[in-house]
Structure 1
Amino acid sequence: KDRYVRSLIFARDEQPYMAYLYGSTLAIGRTVQDVEEWPDRIRKVTTDQVKAVAARYLVPHHSTTGYLLPKTEN
């Protein structure tokens, strides 16, 4: 989480990234304030909150399993 927040903060030094971040956020109906508060909001997320969301949505009967097998010769 800390690494992600740091990357958000450092990315603000790059003009193209900032244009992308603000543009994409505003395009989906969010605000400039949302972008500015994002690092603080991420810092407030707890491990227990992440576990609760994972338990709710990452359930085995909703998953799809795939197998990657080596190509066989005919």
Structure 2
Amino acid sequence: MGQIESRIPDLGVEQELAQSLMRTETNGMTDRQVLSDVLSRPENRYLARQMCYVLTIQGLMSSCRGIHRRPTEPLSS
């Protein structure tokens, strides 16, 4: 039905994400899998909260930060 893609909102978040990615074993993983792995780690969940998320449904995009959650909600599966 739709797909959610992440966007990096600013240089600060990009640099912190890059540091986390350098500490990650990525052999055999797609970019999407690596990003998911990094953002799902408890020590990096603050980065997940700072990312922008875009929902695309049949070629139509919602705006950045189109998916909202309360800041107090835990980011666990």
TM-score of the superposed pair, with normalisation by structure 1: 0.26
Question: What TM-score do the two structures reach when normalised by structure 2?
Answer: 0.26
Which gives a bigger RCO, structure 1 or 2 (Cα 8 Å, sep 6+)?
2
Of Structure 1 and Structure 2, the greater strand share is in 2
1 or 2, which has the higher helix percentage? Answer: 1
The structure number with the bigger radius of gyration is 1
